[in-house]
Structure 1
Amino acid sequence: MGFDLVVVTKQRPADLVPRWEEALAGQGLQVEICPGFSLTSWSGFLPFRLESAPSSLLGMDLAAPIVTGFELQIHRREVTFTTRYPTLAAEFVMQCLGAATLAALTGGTYEDPQQGERYSGPDALDAALAEISGFLASAKSSAFVQHPFPGWAALNVATADG
């Protein structure tokens, strides 16, 4: 069982990665998206290097950069974001804000299939922040585990280039 969010995209900018990192930074998340990521060819777990985040948003202080992320399935016009249960706080925050900021960058919508709700524009960000707040309010201590970032080579992730 997991938690899904869907972004229906209208466009897919060629310079998405730096713009997405900048949009997440605007929410207080200093991240680096996995090198080689492409919204046209990625499949599977998308890792992020999370350098810093406000403790009020993450529910904890970061001791050092961590690796976090979510499963991503890319379809013609839809991008599905999934975290598995039990979900870590950092993964959930990245999933919700990742989906909301991607919706904004692509002129699309942020959809929560669990609630049957769809949001666009600033409402998508508000919905993401409400999801995060609800998650943090009921999260067990095990949700606040931090996995130190070991470097991209050590993660041995498949990149869009191979």
Structure 2
Amino acid sequence: MKTKNAPKDVISEPSADLTALPAPVRAIRDKILAALEKNDVEALRIPIDWNEVRPLFAKSGTFRAGTDPIEILKVLSFDKKGSETIAVARAVFAQPYVRIVRGPVTLYEWPAFARRPTPPADEDEACARWACVRFADLPRSNAEGRPRPTRIAIAADGVWHYFWSED
């Protein structure tokens, strides 16, 4: 819930320039991508544990899977094994990102189209965007009536903040 005095987000234009990312952001992104290459959701435990605090996987904190982050990711995956989680995370990181300044915090969030909606340039781009949507989120839409893409945010200091599809 936003309060009257809450700072307004300042959101950059989309960028695909990975060299413009701060070094700590590139480092955790690379660590996440390396884990995804193993095609085993368990490999994500390394970048999750690399964080000072666990990234959030949903805005609501109740999971039948308990508190183990890998079990949570499995529960959120359509196949309950984590394959969808891996595929969606890869698709999200393949998209451009935006820089979000929220008061003293700067986040880098993928995919950019989640915060800066623009029509896809062509059919290939439209398909790439749909790959960022979890199967469970296909029937649900956000406040603007668009599909709810999964988003990943990393702070400028390299802390992985979230990996969720909530508005």
Asked if these proteins are the same fold (TM beyond 0.5), I'd say no
Larger Rg: 2
| TM-score normalized by the length of structure 1 | 0.28
| TM-score normalized by the length of structure 2 | 0.27
More strand by share: 1
